[in-house]
Amino acid sequence: MVRLNSGPSPRLCRLALVPTIAFILCALAWAQTSDTTGRIAGTVTDAKGIAIAGARVTVSTPAAQIAKATTDAQGAYAAEGVTPGSYTVRVEAKGYITTQLHVEVKIGNSSDASVKLAIGSELQVNTEQASLQEVLNASQIGNLLLNGRNFLALPELEPGVQIEDGENLAPTKTGYSSLSLGSRTGRNTRIAVDGADVSDEIVGTAGEGIPISGMQTFSVEESTLDVSTDLTSSGAVNVTTKRGQNAIHGEAFGLFRDSAIGAAQLQQPLDAATHSFLKTPYQRNQEGGSLGGSIIPDKAFFFLDGERTLQHLTAPVSVASPFAQYSGTYAAPFDEDELQGRVDYSLRKTAHLFGRFNYFKNSENATFFPSSFQLYSSADHAINGLVGLDFDARNITHSIRFSYLRSQSSILDATEGTNLPFAGYPVSIDIATFSVGTNPLAPQATYQSDRQIRYDGTKTMGNHILRFGTGYNRIQVGGYAGLSQTNPLVLVTAPGTNNDPTTTPLSAAEVIVSNGQRYSSTQPAFGYPAGGLGPDNRLDLYIGDTWRYSSGLTITSGLRWERDTSRTNSDLPAIPELNSAFPGFGNVVRQPNQNFAPQLGIAWDPKGTGKTVFRIGAGLYYDNLLYSNDLGDRRLRQRTGTFLATPTACSFGTAMPLPTGTAGSITVDSVEGLDPATGHSYCSDTIGQAAAALAAFQTAYQADNPVSLTAQNPNFVGTQLASGLNVTGGLLAPNYRTPRAWQMNAGFQHEIRPGLILSADYLRNIETRGLLGVDINHTGAARYFNAASAQSAVNLTVADCGAGSLAAAISPQGCPGIHPPSGSVSAGAATIADFAVRGLGSAADTGSSCYTAADPSTGKPLNFQCAFSGVNPNYGAMNALQSISRSLYRAAQVKVAQSVANPFQGVKAMNLQIAYSYSHFTDPLAFQGNTAPTNPIVSNDQDLALQAADNDNPSKFKGASLFDRTHQISFAGTVDVPFGFRFDIAGHFLSPLSSPAIVGNTGTAGQIFQTDFSGSGVGSQPLPGTTNGSFMRGLDVDGLNHAISRYNATAAGQATPAGLALIGSNVLSLNSFNALAYMQTMGAVAPTLNLVPIDQLTFPWLKLFDVRLSWSHTFHDRFKVQPSVGVFNVFNIANFDMPPGATSGWLNEGSGSINSVNTLTRPGETGPASNTFRVGNGTGVFSQGSPRTIEWGLRITF
């Protein structure tokens, strides 16, 4: 049976509901008070009787404005508490002619002021709102030229808006889109349908798909969000769905694409044997329809809608040298269903009840990025039910929503039984952008449910419109997930020159294993014995006022409060062991209870003509802490239970200690022994030599970690501290604060002439309190250098080498004890890695405090502190997520839109729009990892919990956000000509993304001596003098070459701050020149970097240009038939470097990076390396910038 009652007690949940229910009852009681006034109410429809939502209604006398209202999804409105007398009712709606009528109001009566609006211009100046908002009606939604039918792509023509492939957010979001506002990835864009939230609370974006043909309106808010908007600091989407009418109405459509009909062939991948292009055919069918009508005329109505996408695609995998021979294809089918049903019932003239049900399903085969063979199959299911009640009681308009959303996402490995490279191999392999073997994230299944009750009220009081409301969400998530559950994962820093990946030495790699546990908590949920998070009881309250101070001045103000109960695990007790080691950090995590958010906006029409408005707004907005950001916190805090753990078993040739259920640890060497063929640790073998042993070790490790909810938790932070192990995984710091942002906008909107509108605005969004992980022990920091420990480490290494001195140990063949001869290979010399794992480095090299770390040669504890041990030498790294990140978005946006009838001979109507955004978005650079990230753009996503790139100054490398585009130009046009023909165009020109320039991990222990240029203990840092996003912002190719040349001349081959501390201690030599020479010999200096090739692939502009020609004809004044043909990317412009398939910022990666991707074919290559990064068709949805394709369509409406 499915269980949903884990987490906080039912009593707590009932207490959380008390303020919500009390608020609703008070509002209803207020509505029952007697009155000596009347009311004006009615519905606003078009000429066919279809409701118009969002129409603005103004009630006035010759002397003053009395009331304002906005029609709901059913076109209804009401003005309450109107003094008896004569009034003028003015109705305005985008796309319709403004209409006025006169009504008489009597005591206790409701005067009907229903209006039918005629079609007019869709362009109007909004003189009443300070927020930046755009609303699309059903007609606009149906006519937009979209590449695909994902509803979040609807606002793509608005300034500053980007559409992102959902696969960037998570593998379970293949086939989704994400709406990026303010250059953020769109994870926390809040999405609501018919007033109820449908956002994904685990990884972000939407929790379900919605059929576009079932939408009545779509609105997007970018700044100064409405006070009723749920938790977000970036932006919000609000959708209203269609309802039935008296007359039977509906539509049917079909869209078809086939690569054999007019499409451009992607010029990749090349068959290594024949040097010919492999065929990558595809075919896509999209069809759907809707039907609406009355059940009881004028009383009850129904509306049904459904859409389906079925796609067959052979997806290309183009692999760069030296593994180009593996280039190939795989089958990537995609199937998606979106169903919607709605029933409406008019209880009385001023009361309306409706229910809606949505069902969503999709399934597909995909990989994480274009050059990966780690295939997985994904399946998503979601159901969403809602009941809504809207009614007027006396002088208050009430809106109540009850909704339930449940979704399930799962992925399974899809490589088994295929002929994909290395399918069935004992380990999965990631070498730069080349990924083969079992998918490391499969299997996983995630569930979430959201039960919501919401109340919104509106009361008109003279020149004030008072708005108030409350909401309660009970959010539960659960399921299981993990890394490397099936096979160990080998992460290699950079490819060598050999085209056989199994010959890659593990001394240049990390090996990740799994303990076989899949759960992140002990709480049962969704039928599983564990893995539940929550339930989170979210409560919000708000009050707002729209004050029509004068005929031309409107002032809006509001205050919002919100609280989540279980995002911070504040229900768990303090951790004395952590407080003993690091005072204060073991305290209970703070529960945010005082998240009050004020806002203020002013809209001024200086002449009161409705043709010009100056607007300014500002507000404080709190953000959502996604569950994916604190998955690791709970399993570190609980003393009992076995939880998901994915530790590093091998780190650049060294076997690392793994925690066990008691205060102790195991290693690959202690379980598997040494490789009998080489006499070395399996961790220093090649991938091929060690693969079977590593798989056997993971099997044994998992057998030692059976599922138990009562056994001692080996991941408990106290247990790890007792063993001196490095504590990673995302422990929340006790002083947690909810991320929040100050939003500001100022600008104007002006009607240059009827049908021609100019808008210009400046936006500013300052987000603070984002999560950044910091090692509070500062292991590896140069300022904590201990000379005595350094001397002990040097002496131990020299002894293990069997050498008589340091100079002898680092000389050729000078270290047979550690690097013995093998066959024809002579003994080796000691390197910095040998010294580092014996205590000369930090806990990052040994996996724990050096007091508990073992000598790799003897297995005995080192029993002295690391040379760079940090604050407390008894412990290893201690990472804590702190609320310290800060980002800044600034943008100037301009939009010109024109709608005109009969502009010149031969054209019946023309609509044109152009939008431009100039923006700068800066945020901190995250730690770039020990191996190059496979999705470098999204790996720096500020809405995720990131690790700082500098533990001493976490914001040190703050710079251009990697998803920001300085210039964004979008345009569209529609031209209606005689005989029913229509011509549509749409285009997007977006300036390049950016990248940091990283001197990445060199593949050995001792990175503080090679790639830590700030001395904070963190390696893989930016090229000195650069920051986040420097490449393609401050540096072009020439600029990057100058920076690399300067680095090679001044820093390469020289000591880092840690190296300088070691040289200054005289441990290596009394002569600093000799000491530096020793360090250069052992490789303990900054690496030399290659220059950028002259034909390097840069981040180019994204260029899109789409056209469509359609013809429509109406038969018998009832049936409208509209065939069409559209061409997307009509000029077949080649686009490159779009996430997730973007080049890496690692300057020493060797391939796939910003200094190693040629656009011209090199000798021995089957094609230019840049082919790997050309935008292809993508899986699930067609990628932006994909090669030219033709879409044939037919639409019938009635």
Task: Write the burial class of residue 1113 (CB in 10 Å: 0-12 exposed, 13-18 middle, 19+ buried).
Answer: exposed
288, pLDDT greater than 60: yes
Lowest-confidence range among 112-121, 204-213, 985-994, 1054-1063? 112-121
Calpha distance 65→196 (Å, rounded): 32
Return d(Cα 1107, Cα 1121) in angstroms, integer: 20
Q: Look up residue 922 and give its two tokens.
A: 């800066």
Predicted confidence (pLDDT) at residue 518 exceeds the cutoff of 90 = no
List phi, psi (to 5°) of 807: -60, -40
SS3 110: strand
Which conformational region is residue 573 in: left (phi greater than 0), alpha (psi within -120 to 50 degrees), or beta? Answer: beta
With 60 as the cut, is the pLDDT of residue 1001 above it?
Answer: yes
Predicted confidence (pLDDT) at residue 32 exceeds the cutoff of 60 = no
Asked if residue 24 has pLDDT above 60, the reply is: no
Q: How far apart are CA 180 and CA 1184, in angstroms?
A: 14
**Tokens encoding 1182:** 């067609």
Give the range among 612-621, 818-827, 1177-1186 with minimum mean pLDDT: 1177-1186
Confidence tier at 36 by pLDDT (50, 70, 90): low
Cβ atoms of residues 64 and 88 within 8 Å: no
Average pLDDT across the chain, whole number: 90
Mean pLDDT, range 943-953, rounded to an integer: 94
Lowest mean pLDDT among 57-61, 751-755, 1178-1182: 1178-1182
In this predicted structure, the answer to whether residue 1181 has a pLDDT above a threshold of 80 is no
Asked if the bond preceding 734 is cis, omega within 30° of 0, the reply is no
DSSP character at residue 213 = G
Question: Where residue 23 falls among pLDDT bands split at 50, 70, 90?
Answer: low
Q: Tokens 């904070």, residue? A: 1016
Query: In what helix (H) or strand (E) does residue 185 lie, and over which residues does it extend?
Result: none
**CATH classification of the domain holding 34:** 2.60.40.10
Region 89-111: what's the mean pLDDT? 82
Helix 1072-1082 × helix 1057-1064 angle, to 10°:
130
**Residues 679, 682, 683, 688, CA torsion sign:** positive
Highest mean pLDDT among 434-443, 676-685, 820-829: 434-443
- Taking the complete model, does pTM exceed 0.85, yes or no? yes
How many angstroms separate the CA atoms of 510 and 526, rounded?
Answer: 35
**Measured distance CA(656)–CA(848) in Å, rounded:** 8
The Cα diameter of the chain in Å comes to 108
Q: Tokens 């420990």 appear where?
A: 789
Q: Do the bridges between strand 428-431 and strand 351-366 make them parallel or antiparallel, or are there none, so unpaired?
A: unpaired
> What is the residue-wise DSSP string for 290-340?
EEEEEEETTTEEEEEEEEEEEEEEEEEE---TTSGGG-EEEE--EEEEEEE
Domain-located, residue 718: no
Average pLDDT over residues 483-510: 87
1187: preceding bond cis by omega (within 30 degrees): no
Structural domain count, the chain: 2
CB 454 within 8 A of CB 394: no
1090: closest CA among 1031, 1150, 1166? Answer: 1150
Q: Provide the CB-side half-sphere exposure for 833 (13 A, CA).
A: 21
Q: How many CB atoms lie within 10 A of CB 1103?
A: 16
DSSP designation for 725: B
Helix, strand, coil % over all residues of the chain, rounded to 5: 15, 40, 45
Can you tell me the mean pLDDT for 345-363? 93
The band of 412, judged by pLDDT with boundaries at 50, 70 and 90, is very high
Three-class SS state of 1058: helix
What band does 7 get if pLDDT is binned at 50, 70 and 90?
very low
Residue 94 has pLDDT above 70, yes or no: yes
Tokens 């501290």 sit on residue: 721
User: Is residue 440 a part of any domain in this protein?
Assistant: no
What band does 933 get if pLDDT is binned at 50, 70 and 90? confident
Contact 686, 827 (CB under 8 A): no
What is the distance between the alpha carbons of residues 519 and 500, in angstroms, rounded to a whole number?
36
Can you give the C-alpha Rg of the chain in angstroms? 32
Model confidence at 4, pLDDT cuts 50, 70, 90, reads very low
Hey, CA dihedral for 824, 830, 831, 836, is it positive or negative?
positive
Quick one: which of 175, 207, 407 has its CA closest to 311? Answer: 175
Which of these, 656, 696, 874, lies nearest to 777 by C-alpha position? 874
- Residue 861: pLDDT over 80: yes
Contact status, residue 721 vs residue 727, Cβ threshold 8 Å: yes
Q: Which of 166-175, 349-358, 1098-1107 has the lowest mean pLDDT?
A: 166-175
Residues 1023-1065 have pLDDT tens digits of 999 999 999 999 999 999 999 999 999 999 999 999 999 999 9
At 779-788, the pLDDT tens digits run 999 999 999 9
Model pLDDT, residue 27: 53
Q: Which of 164-178, 893-907, 917-931, 1086-1100 has the lowest mean pLDDT?
A: 164-178
Q: Is 502 part of a structural domain of the chain?
A: yes
Query: Among all chains, which residue has been given the structure tokens 């700030």?
Result: 1014
Confidence label for 63 from pLDDT (cuts 50, 70 and 90): low
pLDDT for position 268: 65
Would residue 652 count as lying in a domain?
yes
Q: Of 694, 710, 726, which residue is a domain's last?
A: 710
Would you say residue 1180 has pLDDT above 70?
A: no
Give 898-917 pLDDT, tens digit per residue: 999 888 888 999 999 999 99
Q: Identify the CA nearest to 965 among candidates 1097, 1104, 1101, 1146.
A: 1101
Integer CA distances (angstroms), 119 to 45, 46, 92, 984, 1010, in order: 11, 8, 11, 20, 69
DSSP for 112-146 reads E--EEEPB--S-----S--SEEEEEEHHHHHH---
CA distance linking residue 1124 with residue 463, whole number of Å: 49
Residue 393: per-residue pLDDT: 84
Domain that residue 684 falls in: 485-517+642-710
Which pLDDT score, from 0 to 100, does residue 711 have?
A: 85
pLDDT at position 348 is 85
Q: Given this model, what pLDDT does residue 239 score?
A: 96
Scanning 489-625, the segments in alpha helix (DSSP H) are 576-581
Q: Count other Cβ atoms within 10 Å, centred on residue 852.
A: 23
Task: Decide which of 371 and 532 is more confident.
Answer: 532
Examine residue 20 and state whether it is found in any structural domain, yes or no. yes
At 720 the three-state DSSP class reads helix
Task: State which of 687, 710, 733 marks the end of a domain.
Answer: 710
1172: pLDDT confidence band, cut at 50, 70 and 90? confident
- Give the span between the Cα atoms of 1175 and 1141, in whole angstroms: 8
Q: Residue 753: is it exposed, middle or buried by C-beta count within 10 angstroms (0-12/13-18/19+)?
A: exposed
**Sequence-separated (6 or more) residues with CB below 8 Å from residue 15:** none
Q: Is residue 76 part of a domain?
A: yes
Q: Which residue, 710, 735, 766, sits at the end of a domain?
A: 710
Long-range (24+ apart) CB contacts under 8 A made by 823-831 are 829/1081, 829/1082, 830/797, 830/798, 830/801, 830/803, 830/1082, 831/1004, 831/1082, 831/1083
- Across the range 780-806, mean pLDDT stands at 96
Residue 1184, in any domain of the structure? no
Q: Indicate the SS3 state at residue 759.
A: strand
pLDDT at residue number 1152 = 86
Q: Which two tokens stand for residue 1083?
A: 């490789």
Residue 21 within any structural domain of the chain:
yes
pLDDT confidence of residue 713? 87
> Considering the chain, what percentage of its residues have pLDDT values greater than 70?
94
Per DSSP, what are the bridge partners of residue 104? Answer: 86
Please tell me the predicted confidence (pLDDT) of residue 1179: 64
- What pLDDT is recorded for position 83? 79
Q: How confident is the model at residue 932 (pLDDT cuts 50, 70, 90)?
A: confident
Q: Give start and end residues of each alpha helix (H) in 584-644.
A: 631-637
The DSSP annotation for 935-992 comes to: STTGGG-TTS-EEBS-SS-TTTT-EE-TT--SEEEEEEEEEEEGGGEEEEEEEEEE--
Which comes out higher in pLDDT, residue 72 or 940?
Answer: 940
| pLDDT > 70? residue 22 | no
The dihedral built from the CA positions of residue 40, 43, 44 and 49, taken in this order, carries a sign that is negative
